[in-house]
Amino acid sequence: MQIISQSSEWASVPLLPHQHRGFVPTMGALHEGHLALIRKAQAQNDQVVCSIYVNPAQFNNPEDLARYPRVLAQDLERLAEFPNLLVFTPRDEEMYPAPPRLRFDFGKLEQVMEGQYRPGHFNGVALVVAKLFHLVQPHRAYFGRKDLQQTLIVKQLIDDLSFPIELVVCPTIREADGLALSSRNRRLSLAQRQQAVLIPQTLFEVRRRIRAGGYPLPDLYQFVEEQFAQSALRLEYFQIVHRQTLEPVAHLEAPAALALCVAAYAGEIRLIDNVVLTLQKEL
């Protein structure tokens, strides 16, 4: 494992013309979901880079930024199982030598769900991802489907700026009880961790009902609201949307590629999740 902390060091990292570089950007507090991305990247590339950087530009809540777990020493221990890995650990002054003035506009993609409740979030994501792509120069970039809206933002960023990068979106990794792995999970108390399993359980049940048919959309939304109202969690949003555009679904009609997306609070800790499904026409 080689650790790189300065942008200037990338000039001395060799890569043969016929080789490919995979890239896994993270904000640290690594879990098995991150490691699965790295394993996928190593299986598909000659060289793999993992970045660890808590990007201040994507936090619209200063308290959330201050509380975000930073455990670099533990992260590096976890990455020791990947002997040929390159780890990029820049500092704020390296990534933002001056306050950024560039602003991205992703249209409707950033006006719903996370964009609606976290204004400015995706501008910060796009800024840091563009900077990292420019520095690392990967051929493939790996993101988890748990952050579905983020993957669509990154795809648009790649397309609009003509980055020669293949976006690889990997399935969400879950605990045995269904809770999606997240760096924020380590902040949950034991009671909150037990309560948080309601999030995937509710998503899985809505998916089952959609597949079974016979459940009108208003009834599905009412079911979700009732589930959270009877719990200790606070629901921020639940949306049934088209998977590629995030536009709300008006009718459950095949064919359709859907995503069920949710954000909820366990105390002060905000958790997001989604599941996807495809409605097929009967032959």
- Structural contact between residues 69 and 182, judged by C-beta atoms closer than 8 angstroms: no
- Structural contact between residues 95 and 10, judged by C-beta atoms closer than 8 angstroms: no
Secondary element (H or E) of residue 263: strand 256-266
The rounded Cα 265 to chain-centroid distance in angstroms is 17
**Residue 199: helix, strand or coil by DSSP?**
helix
Q: Which residues, 6+ apart, have CB-to-CB distance to 152 below 8 Å? A: 109, 244, 246
Is 34 a known active-site residue? yes
- C-alpha pair distances (Å), 72 with each of 23, 104, 228: 18, 30, 35
DSSP annotation of 46: S
Among 144, 176, 106, smallest CA distance to 276 is for 144
Q: Which residues, 6+ apart, have CB-to-CB distance to 107 below 8 Å? A: none
Cα(93)–Cα(99) distance, rounded to whole angstroms?
10
Catalytic pick from 34, 139, 242, 251?
A: 34
Q: Sign of the CA dihedral 224, 226, 230, 236?
A: positive
* Positions marked active-site: 34
